[in-house]
Structure 1
Amino acid sequence: MLSRIVIAATAALVLTGGVALAQQDVIKARQDGFSDYKKAMGEIKDALGKDQLAAIVPVGQRIEAFAAKIPGLFPPGSDKGKTGAKEVIWANFSDFTIKAKGAETAGKALADAAATGDKAATGQAFAALADACKACHQRYRAD
């Protein structure tokens, strides 16, 4: 009987540790993704300054692809640990998801505009993407 209790307690600790590890993995994945997102914004700014619009297309697509993953990178309980995410994300998850979709749409619009070779339209699309970023950061990012 005692061995069953020890086995059950050990299993509970392993499962709990696995959940904590999984939460840390998702936090790391989103931090890495947002770090790349920030890098991508710099790449876009540089390419715009050098009139290298074709270079912006894959970067906009990279942002679009990451933004589509954002809601999945914030599962319930992933607010613990070293994270800049405000708790309000989970209280207003539908709005958070809408804002992520806005960044996804803006990333696609940027890639599409850059593909046309129209610098003015690409610049406007980049500004719209920056606005999409700010809309989410203002409400949902702690640092």
Structure 2
Amino acid sequence: MLSRIALAATAALLLTGSVALAQDPIKARQAGFDDLKKAMGEIKDALGKDQVAAVAPVAARIGAFATQIPGLFPPGSDKGKTGAKEVIWANFPDFIAKAKGLEDAAKILTAAAATGDKAATGKAFAAMADSCKACHQRYRSE
């Protein structure tokens, strides 16, 4: 009986946390982009240490986040402490396309890393970084 209560309490806490996160898309996207920045550093470090195999799971993590990006920018989430430019919502189809571009670049990087070819992986990493820059230039206030 006690374990059911503990399980129910844990589930309630998890759901409450998810709801709170969903209610604040600015915090959710900031956390996601902070992790993206960290992941980019992890890939750069791995390539610098000739640890190409370590790149694939990190690139996959970036790809998974990229699929979430459009949903982290619901209408009205342009107010408050955010680096997001208002032009995101005015050009949302292009913004979605840029997020898809990051997702695709991450998939290419994941595949390149899986081959163990450092040169191809480095090239794919550079292309993914360019994908990030393309979105930042238009949609992010620095």
TM-score, scaled to structure 1: 0.83
Q: Cα distance, 1:97 vs. partner?
A: 0.3
Which residues of 2 match residues 23-102 of structure 1 at below 5 A? Answer: 25-102=24-101
Q: Cα distance, 1:25 vs. partner?
A: 1.3
Instruction: Return the letter of the residue paired with 2:130.
Output: D
Residues 79 and 22 of structure 1: CA distance in aligned 2, closer, same or farther (over 3 Å) = farther
Q: Which protein shows a greater Rg?
A: 1
CA RMSD of aligned residues (A): 1.3
Q: List 4+ stretches of structure 1 deviating above 4 A.
A: 21-24
Supply the distance in 1 between the matched residues of 2:62 and 2:124 (Cα, whole angstroms).
13
Q: Percent identity?
A: 76
Provide the secondary structure at the position in 2 that maps to 1:81: coil
Supply the distance in 1 between the matched residues of 2:55 and 2:69 (Cα, whole angstroms).
21
**Unpaired runs of 5+ in structure 2?**
1-19
Q: Does the CA-based 8 Å contact 1:71-1:96 persist in structure 2?
A: yes
**Unpaired runs of 5+ in structure 1?**
1-20
TM-score, scaled to structure 2: 0.84
1:107 matched residue in structure 2: 106
Supply the distance in 1 between the matched residues of 2:67 and 2:128 (Cα, whole angstroms).
14
Provide the secondary structure at the position in 1 that maps to 2:70: helix
